[in-house]
Chains A and B, each alone.
Chain A
Amino acid sequence: MGKQLDLLQGTLDMLILKAVSLGPLHGYGILLRIQQISKDRLEIQQGSLYPALYRLEHQGWISSEWGESENKRKAKYYRLTAAGKRRLQTETENWNRMTDVIAGILGTRPEEV
C-alpha cells in the first residue's frame, strides 16, 4: 500500500456518484466502496462525506430511502437518479478530457515547445 493521496478538490462528488452507480449504498458503504476501488490509495475525510451526500441529494442527483443494513440495522441508502446518471457521464467525460490535457502539458518536453 503506497502513500495515501489527498482528494482533489471537487472530486468527492464524482466519486460518490460513481460509487452509488454500482448499486444502492449507505453512507458508510460508500466510504468503504471508494476505499476498496481505490485500493486504499485515497484519503477521504469522513466528516466531509455526509455534507457532500446531502448536497447531491439536494441537487437531485441521488435519492435516499431508509432500509435495513447487512447487520439488521436501520440505515439510509442512496441510489443514483436519472439526472445523476447523466451528471456522472458528463463529469466523467470532463474529467477524462481534463486529465488528457493536463497529462499532455505535463508530458511536454522542452524541444516540443
Chain B
Amino acid sequence: MRLWSQLRSWVRAMLRRSRMEREIDAELCFHIEAFAEDLVRSGVSREEALRRARIEFGGIERAKEECRDARGMNFLESLAQDLRYGVRMLRNSPGFTATAILTLALGIGANTAIFSVVDAILLRPLPYPEPGRLVRIWESSARRDSPRNVVNPFNFMDWREQSQAFESMAAISGLMTNLSAHNEPFAVQGMQVSPEFFSVLRTAPLLGRTFNVADGVPGQDRSVILSHGLWQRQFGGDAAIVGQKVQVNGVPCQVIGVMPQGFSFPKSKAEVWTPLALTRTEEYKRGRYLTVVARLKAGVSLEQARQDMLRVASYTQQARPDMDKDWSASVFPMLEDATEKVRQPLWVLLASVGFLLLIGCANVANLLLMRGTSRLREMAVRSALGASRSRIIQQLLIESLMLALAGMAAGLIFAHIGLSGLLALIPQNSPLPRSEPITINGGVLLFVFLVSLFTVALFGLVPALRLSHVDLQSALKQGSVRGGVGGHQTLRRCFVVAEVSLALVLSVGTGLMLRSFARLISVDPGFSREHLLTMHVWTSPARYSDNLKRSQYFARMLAAIRSTPGVEAAGSTHFLPLTETISRSCFSPGDGPQPIPSESPSAQFLIISPGYFRAMGTPLRMGRDFEERDAFDSPPVAVVNQAFADRFYTGQNIFGKTLWVCWTITKPVEIVGVVSNARQAHMQDAPEPTIFLSNAQAPMYFATLAVRASGDLQQIARGTEAAIHSVDPDQAVSNIQTMETVFSDSVSSPRMQAVLLLVFAGLAIALAMIGVYGVVSYSVSERTNEIGIRVALGARSGDVFGLVLREALMLTAIALGIGLAGSFALSRVLQTLLFEVTPTDPVTLASVAAWMVAVSTIAAILPARRASRVDPTVALRYE
C-alpha cells in the first residue's frame, strides 16, 4: 500500500518533471512572499522584508534539491549522468575496456556453448513421457569382461515373460533396410523392433498406428512405420501413404503409420521400423545381437529391477547352460546408457571452460584492481567536491554493470559462433547419442553472466572501499598515491599465480590429448586407407533366399565391379573396419568335439570375399587368400590373422589344421592362410585373434564393399554403382564414402577434444599473459623511483631488466609448482581418455612447463624494457 503510493508519486515525479519543478518554485515563492508580507505588516519596508525572508529561509537551491531527492526525482538523473560518465571513462581507456570485455566474453561464450551441449546431451531428460523409468538391459559376463553385451533372442523372450519389474520390454535389431518406392531402390537405416517398442517409449504415431501383438507374429509381420523425414522426402508428405504398400527388402509391406517429427531413438538414425517377429525356433537360438529397452513399473527402483533380472538370468543359465553359462543381465538407466561414451569427454571439456572462466574472472579482477589504484585520485577529487560515498559506489557499480553487459553481449555472439562451430565438428555419420536440437542454454548464460557481474562489481568497487582508508589531502596532493596501498599488489600477484597455474593445468591436459591423438592417428591400422572406396549393400532376402543364390550374386557383383575402368581390386567384408562394429563367435579345434558357446574359446569372425585383403592392402603372411575354387559346396576353408596364430598355435604349423566354428558352416574349416593384423572396431583396440570365412561359403545378406581404385573416386563410385545395377537394377547402394572419411570420422571424437582443448588452452595462456604483463608493468611503474635511484647509483640497464624479469619468473615458478601439483591430482580423470600416453607423461609436463616459462618471459619483456630505459633524472624529478 505504502509502496504503491511511493511508486505512484515517483512515477508522477518522473513523468511530470517540469510541472513538479514549477510547483516547487511556486510553493517556495509563496512561502517567501507570505513571510515578507508578515514582516511588512510589522513595519519593515517591502524590499528589506523580502531580503530578510530570503535570509531566514536559507539556501533555496539546496532546499529544492532536497525536495527533489525526497521525491526520488534525482535517481534517474544521476543514473543517466553515471551512464554518460561511465561510457566516457570506458572509452577513455580503450585498452582496458577491450581487454576486460573480451576476457568476459570469451569466458561467457565458451562456457555457454559447451554447457549447452552438455545440457542437451547429458542432462536434459530423454524426449519420451516419464523418461526416468526407461532402462536398457544387457547381457553381462564378468568372465569375459563384458558388462554390456547385446542379447540372445531366447534370453530376451525369457526376460520378457519372467521378469516382474517392467511394465513392458522391447527388443531392437538395427541394420540397413532396402526400400523401393516407384521402382527406385534406396537404402536407409532401419530398425527391426518387437511390437512393444513404441509402447515402451510411449510415443504415439503422427498418422496411422504403431505395431500391435499381431504384427509380431511370423508371417503377419508385413507392416512398416516411416519416420517423418522419410515420409516427407520420399513420399511427399502424402497423408494417404498409410495403408499403401512399399517394398521393404524386396517384400511388399503395408505402411501402417508415420512417426511425428523429431522422434528418434538414442544413437540411431533409423528412418523405418519393421516388426521383429521372434519365435522359439532354431533360427533364434544362437547368437547375441539384440538391444533391449524396457520401462520400469511405476514405483519400482533400479535396484529392484536389477535384482529381478539377476533372478531371471539365473533361470536362463540353468535352462541353456551351453549358451548362457556365466552370462547374467545388467540394467542401466537409458539416458546414462546412451551417453556413456561421451560423458567423460564432455565433463572434461566443461571443466576446461570452467577453468577458462576462472582465469578470465581473475584477469578482469586484476585489471580492475590496477585501474582502481590509478583512479584513486579521481575518486578523491570527487569526494572532496562533495560526492557522497554511496554516490561514488553507485557510479562504480554502473560502470561494472556496463562492462558485464557488454561482455555478455559479445559472449552471446561467441557462444553462437562457438556452438555452430562445435556442431560442425561432429561428423554426419557418427551422430551424437541424442538427436534433439542443441541450442544456447539461457539459464547457463544467465549464471555465467552473474558470475562475471559479481567479479566485476566486487573488484570494481575497490577504489570506493579504499577511499575510506586514504587520507584525502595526501591523495590529492601527490601525483600518485604511494605507500600504504601495496596490499593490492599482493592480491594481484595471487591472481596471476592462480591464472598461470590454471592455464598450466589446462595446457597439460591439452598436451596430453594432442600427444594421445598423434599416437592414435599414427597407428598402423594394418590396411592402407588411401585410394579406397567403401559402400554398403544389403541384398533382398526375398530375391536371394537361399545361400547358394546369394553366394553367386555377390561373386557376380564383385566381378562386375572389378571390370570397371580404374578399379584395381575389390572385395567385401560384412563389417568394415573402424565403424565400431564387431562380431565374435566360438570355435574349437577340428580334431576335438564340437564347440559349446559358453565353454569354447572365442575369436572375432569376419566374413569376406576373395580379393578383400588385396583391396584393403592387408599383406598375406603365409598360405593363400580365398579363391574361386572355394565355392559354396567346396570343402570349407578359413584364413586367420597373425594374432590368432600367435595366440592359439604358437610355434606350430598352422596349415592343415581344422576348426569347428559357431557359424553357418557346420563342417570343420581348414586354415589355408595367415594375414597381418589389422585394426577392426576402433583404431585404439589392439588387433584381436580373427577367423575369416569366405562369403562364398558362409554368405551374409549384407556386405560393405571395398574398392581400390586410381583416379577420381567420385567417378569410380558412379562406375561401381552402375556395375552393381548391371547385375541387379533393384540393388540399393548406400553409405558410399572413402576409407579416408571412415577413418577421419572414427577419430573425430578425440580430434574434437584435442582441437577444443587446444583452443581453450590457447585462450587461457593469452589471458595469463595479460595477467603477468599487467602485474609486472604496474610494479615497474610503482618502482620507477627506486629504479631511478639504482640507475643513478650505477646499475646498468641489463641489471634493471633482470630485476623486473626476476619478478615475473618468480611468480611463474610458484605457479608451475601449483599447476603441476594440480595436474598430478587431476591425472586420474584423463587416464581413460588417453591412448598410449600416461597422464603424467614427463615429456608433456616438461614441455608445457618450459612453454609457460617462455610465455611469462615474453609477457614481462615489454615492462622490463621500459624499466631498463628509465632516465634517472626524470624518474627522480617525477617525485
Contact = CB atoms under 8 A, between A and B. Distances in A.
Contact of A28 (B9, B23, B31): B31
B63 A73 contact: no
A47 B30 contact: no
Nearest to A58: B9
A55 interface: yes
Contact of B26 (A48, A57, A74, A83): A74
Interface in B54-88: 56-60, 62-63, 66-67, 69-72
A50 B34 contact: no
B269 to A, nearest CB: 66
Contacts of A27: 27, 30-31
A60 B57 contact: no
Interface size class of B (residues with CB under 8 A): 20 to 34
B13 to A, nearest CB: 8
Nearest to B69: A51
A69 to B, nearest CB: 7
Interface residues of A, number: 24
A46 B31 contact: yes
B2 interface: yes
Interface string B695-737: 0000000000000000000000000000000000000000000
B58 to A, nearest CB: 4
A48 to B, nearest CB: 7
Nearest to A26: B30
B69 A69 contact: no
A31 B23 CA distance: 19
Interface in A4-57: 26-28, 31, 45-48, 50-52, 54-55, 57
Nearest to A54: B70
Contacts, number: 78
Nearest to A81: B5
A71 B37 contact: yes
Q: Is the interface of B mostly helix, strand, loop or mixed?
A: helix
B135 to A, nearest CB: 62
A46 B26 CA distance: 16
A7 to B, nearest CB: 14
B353 to A, nearest CB: 48
Contact of A51 (B6, B34, B35, B67): B67
Contacts of B63: 47-48, 50-51
A26 B59 CA distance: 20
A85 to B, nearest CB: 14
B630 interface: no
A26 B9 CA distance: 19
B30 A50 contact: no
A58 to B, nearest CB: 5
B553 interface: no
Interface string B1-36: 110011001100000000000011011101101110
Which of A31, A51, A55, A83 has most B Cβ within 10 Å?
A: A51
13 contacts: A26-B27, A26-B30, A46-B35, A47-B60, A50-B28, A54-B71, A59-B5, A69-B30, A73-B33, A74-B30, A75-B27, A76-B30, A83-B1
Q: Which 6 A-B pairs have the closest CB atoms?
A: A47-B58, A60-B5, A51-B66, A54-B70, A55-B70, A47-B63
Given A26-B34, A47-B57, 5 more contacts: A46-B56, A50-B28, A54-B70, A58-B10, A76-B30
